[in-house]
Structure 1
Amino acid sequence: MLPSSRRVRAALLVTAAACVLAAAPSPPAPAGIGDPLFPTLGNPGYDVLAYDIGFTYQGDNSKPLEAVTTLDARATGWLDRINLDFARGTVHGVEVNGKKAEFASAEEDLVITPRHPVYPGEELRITVRHTSDPRGAEDGGWVRTTDGLVMANQADAAHRVFPCNDHPSDKAMFTFRVDAPKEYTVVANGLETGRTWAGGRAVSTYRTEHPMATELAQVSIGRSAVVRREGPHGLPVRDVVPAADRHQLERWLRKTPAEIAWMEKLVGPYPFETYGVLIAGADTGFELETQTLSLFERSLFARTGFPEWYVDSVMVHELAHHWFGDSVSPRAWSDLWLNEGHATWYEALYAQEHGKRPLETRMREAYRQSDAWRAAGGPPAAPKPPAPGQKISIFRPVVYDGSALVLFALRQEIGEARFGELERRWVSDHKDGTATTADFVGLASEVAGRDLAGFLQGWLYGAKTPPMPGHTDWRSAAPGRA
């Protein structure tokens, strides 16, 4: 029960003050919500409702940006200190509900001491004036491109760009305000709500219409062209590409509306207010499903060695994430297989339908390697922690094809019609929220009309790959021989 009267609040504050006087304050320390893979990520005691983030870019992507981040939050517990995830920036000052607050750094946390303790249910506005440094971003955060900056915050790098509660379980609304020289194009998650010009500079404002996990935040600043077209049901589609490559890339960009329509036919309406492809002049080694604006390396489209069906299927992979991972986000990072397994599944289905790459052939090869993948990275729903200093090493083969294999086995077990119903129910029931592996098992059992926990236990948590329904002749090679 939340305190609701001034008398109760006053009593709580008196009690808190007495406790503070009775004990010496402990030094600032990092906190975390105990994620199995990233124990110090996220912070207990509050729920972020909205972020308002302002960046000032001077045209040099090797220098820190000045920034102001405001969080609107609600306390879920008693707080005499408030921890935010933040690193790679200098904090100039902090306010809590309009009043200056003390702050200190503790590892990758910004630890704030408000003037008065915060009681459960209290609404908070936390404003942090800071820099946001794009240098040394090999481990995520800002990515420097040939003409500016983009973001790549997965899995836990948003706090290297702005102070936040950097865990997908705490989704929030976002507003971005970016002040940049007028010759630069700025695009961010959501829809543009305003742009003003003054003295050779422009301030662009973007807002999301759906909650978003911090790892999915995106701001692109560059000498870019924005290509607009219409998707299914009037969906605004806007692609952001290097201006010099605009015509060369059109053969790929024009595919997006049909790809969205293909996904909608399988799983239901596209879940957000807009979509688009962001092609960056940077070598990242990956593509990324930032919400409403998927990030791709320019080289994916510029190289001549990739067959067309392959590039198409990669585009569909990131698009599929907007249902699986963005709209329905993982409650913990050990639920990552729900993101990547599903995106890989629809990537493979698209390659089968449009590239004549049989799904069963791909799944049989995945089955052959599955035991080795499990030995190296853990089973799909219980992955091993990341290697020291390599946080994105959780993105192993077992969470891609190894997890798509789980979905193939489930479809074999319950049939194509029920599997399709499960997929549509999953993204509908959990839209704009978070979900767990247990939630998926529970819904699969409901749709199938029988308890599937026993069947899925081995597929999700077993050290060895169970027999494939309908394919008892499939064999998995021993680890080290795959």
Structure 2
Amino acid sequence: MTPSPRQPARRRTTIRRAVRATVPVAVAALVAATGPAAPGTVGAPGAGDPYFPLSGNGGYHVRHYDLTLRYDTTTRHLDAGAVLFARATQPLTRFDLDLTGLHVTGVTVDRTPAAFRRSGQELVVTPRHALRAGRPFRIAVTYQGTPGPVTDLDGSEDGWIPTDDGAFVAGEPQGAMTWFPANAHPKDKSSYDFTITVPQGRTAVANGELLSRRTAHGRTTFHWRETRPMAAYLATATIGTFQVQRYTTADGIQVYNAVDPREARAAAPVLKKLPAVLAWESKLFGPYPYRSAGAIVDHDPDVGYALETQTRPLYDSAPDLTTLVHESAHQWFGDSVSLAAWKDIWLNEGFATYAEWLYTEQHGGDSAQKTFDALYATPAGNGLWAYPPGDPGNGEKIFGTPVYLRGAMALHELRGAAGDRDFFRILRAWAADHRDGHGTTAQFTRLAERVSGRRLDGLFHTWLFTKGKPNSA
């Protein structure tokens, strides 16, 4: 994510950022009379993340989401259906989905009506028959309403954000639940199909590859598919009036850019450099993780950030080159290699920020050392040193300056200790070893020590976990 200069707490520009109901409610209420759940068979209402206790859910893994959305850009009404293909990781008589602000009209489990109730952001589902551990099962949810965003602890909004011509859909950290029922923690990654119907003249852009587009009776339906594992917060279904550009890079990457006409002139020279940026990052970090790429450039600058939506970053206005480099680097660090816990957010933002420094260094600008030195010269009372980036303390701080800048400084210290040869081997090994998976700070530390042959726990402790301004090596 890249914050806007209008919202420095989120990040500086250079560092961040229909299906109708088939199960009547009365039937669901009848099915609810199944008695109390057996002990040890209830899926947890959260994935165990201390920063976002209700984010995600326990007891199952979602392998694939099939989302069908029909959105009216005039009334801002959404009719939707979600089919989740899941596998139980424990015996289940009840489980939760994350969903807020929308009216659920029916739930089935394996095509059988299931009981459901709402509890805050939790959609609590009781299937008619218990699910054994290891069993694959199918959840279908029909729902409708007027979606809107959630306000995060830092005051910014994410999720389904209405715009003057559609919606800006950006889910980090907890916005996925505003538009589809999900196991919405980065630990649970899935493939996706999106079938999105919008008024003719509007374009709906999601992740992965566009499989089809058809127009009939004044509406256009877009079918997108992302086959690589993706965290729910990285999914998008952004809708608007867009100019579309499609091409294939020399490396065979299918590019799809969607740009609001109001941003087209400013965005064009930056987007023109996307293939070169991806090629440069591929040399440093290893092969690009996906078959498709591109950008969604909307016109809603009050949003205040850009987001690394998988395969196709989302910008609230025309990005500058630094922001493009940042969000593109996230395709490796944050998207392909995802967090296991939000406290490790520096593995996303510190890495993408350091990619900015490296790009500047290798394209005629200041060296990374000069950037580091200028930051280190800031006084001890500066906000840069307000808290350690390796465990910011709560969800309000995960997009603060220390996570981005001090996180990048930690990587620069590692580069100095390991030397350039081993440092870039570490980055490539991290992206390769954890591709389509997850990583933790402890795992990164062990990798860095193995590749460099050095003890580095002191370095990481100093730069990631100590309070105040560290002593530089």
| TM interval, short-chain normalised | 0.7 to 0.9
Partner residue in 2 for 1:134? 147
- Judge conservation of contact 1:74–1:124 (CA < 8 Å) in 2: yes
Please state how far the C-alpha of 1:148 moved relative to its aligned partner: 1.1
The answer to whether residue 99 in structure 2 is matched with residue 86 in structure 1 is: yes
The share of aligned pairs that are identical, in percent, is 38
Alignment gaps of 5+ in structure 1: 1-19, 302-310, 388-392, 470-482
Please state how far the C-alpha of 1:198 moved relative to its aligned partner: 2.5
Q: Which amino acid aligns with 1:462?
A: T
Which structure has greater strand proportion?
Answer: 2
Partner residue in 2 for 1:384? 393
Within-5 A mapping of 1:22-421: 31-60=45-74, 62-131=75-144, 133-135=146-148, 139-243=157-261, 245-247=263-265, 249-283=267-301, 284-298=303-317, 300-301=318-319, 311-354=320-363, 356-369=365-378, 372=381, 378-387=387-396, 393-421=397-425
Distance 1:323-1:43 versus aligned 2 partners, 3 A rule: same
- Judge conservation of contact 2:102–2:147 (CA < 8 Å) in 1: no
Question: Following the alignment from structure 2 to structure 1, what is the Cα–Cα distance between the partners of residues 383 and 296?
Answer: 33
- Judge conservation of contact 2:195–2:222 (CA < 8 Å) in 1: yes
Q: Which amino acid aligns with 1:403?
A: G
Which structure has greater helix proportion?
Answer: 1
Question: Following the alignment from structure 1 to structure 2, what is the Cα–Cα distance between the partners of residues 67 and 274?
Answer: 26
Q: Deviations over 1:23-71 (max 9, x none)?
A: 8999x998112212112211110011010111101232x5230110111
Number of positions where the alignment pairs a residue of Structure 1 with one of Structure 2 = 433
Using the size of structure 2 for normalisation, the TM-score is 0.86
Distance 1:385-1:121 versus aligned 2 partners, 3 A rule: same
Structure 2 SS opposite 1:234: coil
Structure 2 SS opposite 1:212: strand
Distance 1:137-1:334 versus aligned 2 partners, 3 A rule: closer
Please state how far the C-alpha of 1:277 moved relative to its aligned partner: 1.3
Using the size of structure 1 for normalisation, the TM-score is 0.85
Structure 2 SS opposite 1:130: strand
RCO higher in structure (CA 8 A, sep ≥6):
2
Q: Which amino acid aligns with 1:99?
A: T
Partner residue in 1 for 2:456? 452
Question: Following the alignment from structure 1 to structure 2, what is the Cα–Cα distance between the partners of residues 173 and 378?
Answer: 36
Question: Following the alignment from structure 2 to structure 1, what is the Cα–Cα distance between the partners of residues 92 and 311?
Answer: 34
Please state how far the C-alpha of 1:149 moved relative to its aligned partner: 1.3
- Judge conservation of contact 2:242–2:261 (CA < 8 Å) in 1: yes
Question: Following the alignment from structure 2 to structure 1, what is the Cα–Cα distance between the partners of residues 111 and 386?
Answer: 47
Q: Which amino acid aligns with 2:52?
A: F
Distance 1:123-1:29 versus aligned 2 partners, 3 A rule: closer
Q: Which amino acid aligns with 1:444?
A: A
Structure 2 SS opposite 1:386: coil
Alignment gaps of 5+ in structure 2: 1-33, 152-156
User: Which protein has the larger Cα radius of gyration, Structure 1 or Structure 2?
Assistant: 1
Please state how far the C-alpha of 1:323 moved relative to its aligned partner: 0.4
- Judge conservation of contact 1:95–1:126 (CA < 8 Å) in 2: yes
Question: Following the alignment from structure 2 to structure 1, what is the Cα–Cα distance between the partners of residues 419 and 173?
Answer: 34
Question: Following the alignment from structure 2 to structure 1, what is the Cα–Cα distance between the partners of residues 401 and 36?
Answer: 53
- Judge conservation of contact 1:375–1:463 (CA < 8 Å) in 2: no
Deviates more, 1:91-100 or 1:237-246: 237-246
Partner residue in 2 for 1:476? none
- Judge conservation of contact 2:114–2:125 (CA < 8 Å) in 1: yes
RMSD over aligned CA atoms reads 2.3
Q: Which amino acid aligns with 1:182?
A: Q
